[in-house]
Structure 1
């Protein structure tokens, strides 16, 4: 959800000891092309290809490739093809291999062409990737199911995105034997939801990997309260802009969803405007949102509202105990995913037995969050094996 955002300021200060001498090799590609049905989760479906990006990447990487790998749809457990990128840092990997960070990118769009791996600047995610590479992390970033492939994108379907993140770590280890088993997840907005869901699924879905923790900034958690706002006519303009994509993503998972039950006027007539990739139609989307009336998005009846609420609850996080500690941050002035939604999700995660450090950013909105050195210190402590701090006593 929301615009691609700057990486948390503190992430740029991460320090991880690693030599800067050239080293590390990508495994020689196989000429074999596999179908998802014939592959294991995370297995490469075709040889990696060089990623062509900005010069800043060349200075920080020994290898930069796009990948196509097998993942899993949470809708029915079927195998899927998913694309993404893997960046191997310069230097000689430490004992145990490069520590891995799996990045969950913010909303880039819902069309296949909006896959970050097909854009030189990763559709706004490059500033997130660079600090990790500079500090000795191997970075893997999934496009998510339906972006970069012929499938449709189940936007904000947390479980599917979580599987995509987990399998991106496996794909990175298939790209290079220098990738370690220890990894952390970092995501903003849609990506914050994706790494949260990956954390919950990690122990059962990818138990051979060692997840140390995840950072979710401005995550999309349980979005079902938005239905009350739709009914009451109180959606913010930021929420109106995202609503057509949210409805479209739900329709991929629930084909019986009728768009006209929730979208009318220009929200329905100008679907092309809202299907654009991130940054393409920002001004026009804002203009339509400013002219939208409550009648354009009110559920057609109570039954439609109940269906939408149930579908959103099915797509939410949390739904189970996290496999590893979580750092969850939100902007106290967030007008897209409201602060109380994040607080409530953290409370539920705590009640399920998860270890959650919850932090609010005063005066900050959606995505653009600065927590000082707190995230860097939190990550450092996860690698050091220090017991993770918890806010659960405060939010219960």
Structure 2
């Protein structure tokens, strides 16, 4: 039996702010509310409202917009980080929850943009993501889907910041699990694509220290961004050839999002020092333009690496790139890595380097490479494999991984 949409009763200091929510339409982000509350502990469910039908999923029995407290992942000193309000959504599958509750997929979404208007809980899911998430629902998983820090709530979106993504994901789980009406199991699989794949991998790495009470059984990641093996002088071999530098490249949109966030949050990284006039204009558009229209901006403006950047952007943005690094490559639970054989957004070789390095670190890795498939196509093609991986985790079966086979194939 799925729960009726309910409002969560907050502790007394928050009740005055919560009254404002009764005046708001379902799934509208309560910005005034988010600015008023001062949550003291992470993972506290501040509000749960019905999600607008247009933003739900076809195979969900019910869908809920949520707002919860989460630790600031962008704080200079993590030990002194305060609490923020973060938003997200919960989707429940159709049917009757099994004994112990619905197993949970913690969904970490891919790049959507950095403007509040791009937050996934405020928009219909893309066709690709809707198909993928519906597949998990049909498998009998509830989905807890964070929007991430600063996406749909006050403050800059912590784009590709590993700690912030992990906090947002883990605290969304804490909040959802605290609501017994949702009938969620403690069995959790973290699932992510692209930006979300990096978030999922990072979340698995941060979980034991940040949220040790959560039972993270494993991780599924597709199209995982990774720096790959560095050159002898310590540089990342990304778009290194002259031809790659001079062609129009939609992946520039991702760098413009990094530049826009850094420009908003870090005075030491003014965008005009690295971006051309053409690049600065595009970065301004990136502040509020969601990802698919942003790809169009890149194509319409004919942006290439040579006409967008005045200097080496990798070196200039070393600080935000470092904030995107994984806390460890040795994960406590098994990880499934789905890799497109024709992925140019998160280059195939870089992802295969992640497999090799994670195996060397001692992680249990089940890696699958899908020949000829790009960054996006891999998501749904991989499901027939990742669902079996997840099913083993939920049923308590051992996952042995395929590190040895992958190492042999890469030689």
Q: Taking structure 1 as the reference length, what is the TM-score of the superposition?
A: 0.83
Partner of 2:382: 371
Cα 1:124–1:246, aligned 2, differ >3 Å: closer, same or farther?
Answer: farther
Residue 55 of structure 2 contacts residue 125 of structure 2 at CA under 8 Å; is this kept in 1? no
Cα 1:40–1:122, aligned 2, differ >3 Å: closer, same or farther?
Answer: farther
Partner of 1:313: 322
The 3-state SS of whatever aligns with 1:182 is: strand
Residue 364 of structure 2 contacts residue 401 of structure 2 at CA under 8 Å; is this kept in 1? yes
Q: 1:200 aligns with which of 205, 208, 219?
A: 205
Q: 1:280 aligns with which of 271, 287, 293?
A: 293
Could you tell me how far 1:264 is from its partner in structure 2?
A: 1.0
Return the alpha-carbon distance in structure 2 between the equivalents of residues 305 and 283 of structure 1.
Answer: 23
Residue 260 of structure 2 contacts residue 284 of structure 2 at CA under 8 Å; is this kept in 1? no
The 3-state SS of whatever aligns with 1:197 is: helix
Cα 1:66–1:122, aligned 2, differ >3 Å: closer, same or farther?
Answer: farther
Could you tell me how far 1:390 is from its partner in structure 2?
A: 2.0
Give the count of matched residue pairs: 369
**How much is the aligned-residue C-alpha RMSD, in angstroms?**
2.8
Residue 132 of structure 2 contacts residue 383 of structure 2 at CA under 8 Å; is this kept in 1? no
Cα 1:224–1:152, aligned 2, differ >3 Å: closer, same or farther?
Answer: farther
- In terms of mean alpha carbon deviation, does 146-155 or 267-276 score higher? 267-276
Could you tell me how far 1:305 is from its partner in structure 2?
A: 5.2
The 3-state SS of whatever aligns with 2:291 is: coil
Cα 1:230–1:52, aligned 2, differ >3 Å: closer, same or farther?
Answer: same
Return the alpha-carbon distance in structure 2 between the equivalents of residues 144 and 238 of structure 1.
Answer: 23
Return the alpha-carbon distance in structure 2 between the equivalents of residues 60 and 52 of structure 1.
Answer: 12
Partner of 2:25: none
Residue 44 of structure 1 contacts residue 69 of structure 1 at CA under 8 Å; is this kept in 2? yes
Return the alpha-carbon distance in structure 1 between the equivalents of residues 145 and 323 of structure 2.
Answer: 25
Of structures 1 and 2, the one scoring higher in RCO (CA 8 A, sep 6+) is 1
- 1:259-278 to structure 2, matched below 5 A, reads 259-275=271-287, 276-278=289-291
Gaps of 5+ in 2: 19-35
Q: Taking structure 2 as the reference length, what is the TM-score of the superposition?
A: 0.80
- 1:89-128 to structure 2, matched below 5 A, reads 89-121=93-125, 125-128=129-132
Gaps of 5+ in 1: 1-21
Residue 221 of structure 2 contacts residue 336 of structure 2 at CA under 8 Å; is this kept in 1? yes
Partner of 2:357: 348
